[in-house]
Amino acid sequence: MKFKLGLAGLIAAVALSSLPLAAQELDPENTLAIKTTDKCTITVKLRPDLAPNHVAQIKKLARAKYYDGVPFHRVIDGFMAQTGDGQNGDGTGGSNEPNLKAEFTNTHFARGVVGMARTSDPNSANSQFFIMLADGGFLDGQYTVFGEVAQGMPCVDKIAKGEPPSEPDKMVTVRVMKDVK
């Protein structure tokens, strides 16, 4: 009996380890659900351990429904998909919240990492963010990482490409998972 229980535990551990790390430990207070035009969902594990101020602002904006209907205005194949301009929808605007001081880390900008967009001023991040479509190590230490895609990279890969795309996909809704009933 001990052997069977041990084997069952081992099988469960192997199954769990095959999931992406982020999918294994999602905290509803620090998880975003982004529903897109394609009716698919991108689940983002927020990283307050890396960027507490950025995570707080993203959650505040999501809870205010600021991101609902906002287009992916800059999507470069093999690089990243940028969104979050709820003011103008074209990458030139931000929110009414104050800009944030950079929270740079050594976290690698790998595929699926979510970072804050900014101007040439490192302390200018506000509401816009991007999801990495591919490795972007050249961004390491220069942009704030505040999350990672836990589920839904196939959805991210389907986002219409262009600067701007001719028919941009949108974030239909963005919700903190704790608030979803």
- What pLDDT digit, counting tens, does each position of 34-44 carry? 999 989 999 99
Average pLDDT, the chain: 90
- pLDDT confidence of residue 13: 42
In 3D space, the residue among 174, 172, 177 whose CA is nearest the CA of residue 39 turns out to be 172
What is 22-179's CATH superfamily?
A: Cyclophilin-like (2.40.100.10)
Tell me the torsion sign for CA atoms 17, 27, 47, 130: positive
- Beta pairing partners, 83: 129
pLDDT at 16: 41
Distance CA 157, CA 152 (A): 9
Each domain of the chain, given as residue ranges in start order, spans: 22-179
Give per-residue burial for 134-152: e unless 16+ CB within 10 Å, then b.
eebeebbeebbbbbbbbbb
Share of the chain above pLDDT 90, in %: 85
φ, ψ of residue 82 to 5 degrees: the values are -110, 140
Q: What is the pLDDT of residues 23-36, one digit of tens each?
A: 458 999 999 999 99
Place of tokens 């069952």: 8
pLDDT in tens, 56-86: 999 999 999 999 999 999 999 999 999 999 9
Residues 83-97, mean pLDDT to the nearest whole number: 96
Query: In this predicted structure, what is the pLDDT of residue 38?
Result: 86
